[in-house]
DNA sequence: ATTTTTCTACGATTATTTTCGTAGAAAAAT
DNA sequence: ATTTTTCTACGAAAATAATCGTAGAAAAAT
C-alpha cells in the first residue's frame, strides 16, 4: 500500500493534479509563487515521491516529466479519514457541521449540498 | 499566538477535553487502551504542552493535574482551516461533499445538517 | 525501618520530514 | 570554442516530532 503523502508532497501533488504532467521546474515555479522554496528542494521531494510510488515520471528528455500516480479523490478521502479520527474523534458529522458553520457558502453551494443530502435520504 | 498541537498532543487534548482535569497517569492509561505508549513519553509530551501553553497544571499535590488551555471547538476550527487549505485547496464545500458522500449518516444526522443549511439560507 | 512503587525532571536518542550544497553531464548562449 | 545556464543525483544537514532511560524525591506498602 502506498504511503500517505506528507504536507510538502501534497503541495506538489496539487500542482500535478491541476496542471497535469509537469517538469520539476514548472512545479517549483508554481510553489515559489506562494512561498520561498529552493529548486533542489522540490527536485529532491519529487525524487522521493517517485521512490514511494506517489508519482511516475518520464525520463526520455533531459528534463524529466512527473505525473501524479494517485488520484486526487482517493487521496483526499484517505487523508480526510485520518483527520476526522484525529481531530473529530471519528465523527464526520461534527466535521461537516463545523465546516459548514464556519464558512460562508453561496446559495448555489448550499443547493449542491441539499441535493446530495436528499439523494442520500432516498437511498436510505 | 499559541502553536498548533501536534498529532500526539492532540490525542492528549482529546482525553483532557472528554474527562476534564487529569493526572498524567490517567491520561496515559486512556491512551494505552488504544495503543502502546510509555508513561514517560506521555509525561514528557504533557510537559512540553505546558511550556507551549496548550495546557495549564496544578502542582499542589505530588501528582500534577493538567487541564486543557485551549478550547476544543476553536482548536478543531483552527486545524480544519489548514486542513482544507492543504488538502482541498481551500474549498470547504469540496470537503463537506467528500465527508458526506463518504459516510453513511443517520436520518437524524442528515436532518441536523439540513436544519443548519436552512438556517444559513434564511440568514443570507 | 526498609523496600517497593509512583511521581517529576530532563537530557539524549530515534524517527521523520524538509532543506541545502556540491558535483557532473547536457544544453543553450555568447 | 568557451562560458553560462539548466538539469539530475545524492549525501548531508537542519528542523521537528516522538520516544526512551536514568536519577532522585515523595509516598505507599511491607
Contact of B83 with chain A, judged by CB distance below 8 Å, is answered with yes
On the question of pLDDT at B124 being above 70, the answer is no
Whether nucleic acid strand D comes within 7 Å of the CB of A43, the answer is yes
Q: Using the 8-state DSSP alphabet, how is residue B61 labeled?
A: S
Top pLDDT among B1 and B83 is at B83
Mean pLDDT of B67-93: 96
Nearest-CA neighbor of A93 among B114, B6, B74? B114
Q: For all residues of chain A together, what is the average pLDDT?
A: 94
Pairing of strands B22-23, A65-68: unpaired
Give percent of chain B with pLDDT exceeding 70.
99
Residue B66's beta-bridge partner residues? B22, B57
For residue B60, the SS3 value is coil
Q: What is the pLDDT of residue A124?
A: 62
Contact of A109 with chain B, judged by CB distance below 8 Å, is answered with yes
Nearest-CA neighbor of B42 among A81, B55, B60? B55
Q: What is the predicted ipTM?
A: 0.90
Cell of A4: 500517505
On the question of pLDDT at A33 being above 90, the answer is yes
Residues 44-63 of A with CB under 7 A from strand D: 44, 47, 59, 62-63
- The per-residue pLDDT for range B33-75, each reduced to its tens digit, is 999 999 999 999 999 999 999 999 999 999 999 999 999 999 9
Chain B residues whose CB is inside 8 A of the A99 CB are 80, 84, 92, 95-96, 99
On the question of pLDDT at B103 being above 80, the answer is no
- The per-residue pLDDT for range A38-73, each reduced to its tens digit, is 999 999 999 999 999 999 999 999 999 999 999 999
Q: For all residues of chain B together, what is the average pLDDT?
A: 94
Contact B100 A109 (CB under 8 A): no
Q: Per residue in A1-17, is it b (16+ CB within 10 Å) or e — as a string?
A: eeeebeeebbbbbbbbb
Please give the angle made by the CA atoms of A82, A87 and A88, to the nearest 5 degrees.
95
Q: Which long-range contacts (CB under 8 A, 24 or more apart) does A83-88 make?
A: A83/B79, A83/B83, A83/B87, A84/B99, A86/B7, A86/B10, A86/B11, A87/B10, A87/B75, A87/B76, A87/B79, A87/B80, A87/B83, A88/B76
pLDDT confidence tier of residue A121, bands split at 50, 70 and 90? confident
Contact of A115 with chain B, judged by CB distance below 8 Å, is answered with no
Task: Give the nearest partner residue to A110 out of B83, B100, B120, using CB atoms.
Answer: B120
- The per-residue pLDDT for range A5-32, each reduced to its tens digit, is 999 999 999 999 999 999 999 999 999 9
Task: Give the nearest partner residue to B116 out of A101, A116, A121, using CB atoms.
Answer: A101
Query: Rounded distance, CA B43 to CA A37, Å?
Result: 36
Residues 65-124 of A with CB under 7 A from strand D: none
Amino acid at each position: 500500500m502506498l504511503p500517505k503523502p506528507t504536507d510538502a508532497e501534497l503541495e506538489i501533488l496539487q500542482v500535478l493534479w491541476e496542471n497535469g504532467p509537469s517538469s520539476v521546474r514548472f512545479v517549483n515555479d508554481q510553489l515559489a509563487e506562494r512561498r520561498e522554496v529552493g529548486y533542489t528542494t522540490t527536485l529532491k521531494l519529487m525524487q522521493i515521491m517517485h521512490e514511494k510510488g506517489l508519482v511516475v515520471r518520464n525520463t526520455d528528455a533531459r528534463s524529466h516529466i512527473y505525473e501524479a500516480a494517485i488520484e486526487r479523490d482517493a487521496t483526499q478521502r484517505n487523508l480526510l479519514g485520518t483527520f476526522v479520527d484525529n481531530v473529530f474523534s471519528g465523527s464526520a458529522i461534527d466535521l461537516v457541521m463545523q465546516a459548514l458553520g464556519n464558512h460562508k457558502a453561496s446559495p448555489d453551494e448550499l443547493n449542491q449540498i441539499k441535493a446530495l443530502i436528499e439523494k442520500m435520504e432516498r437511498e436510505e
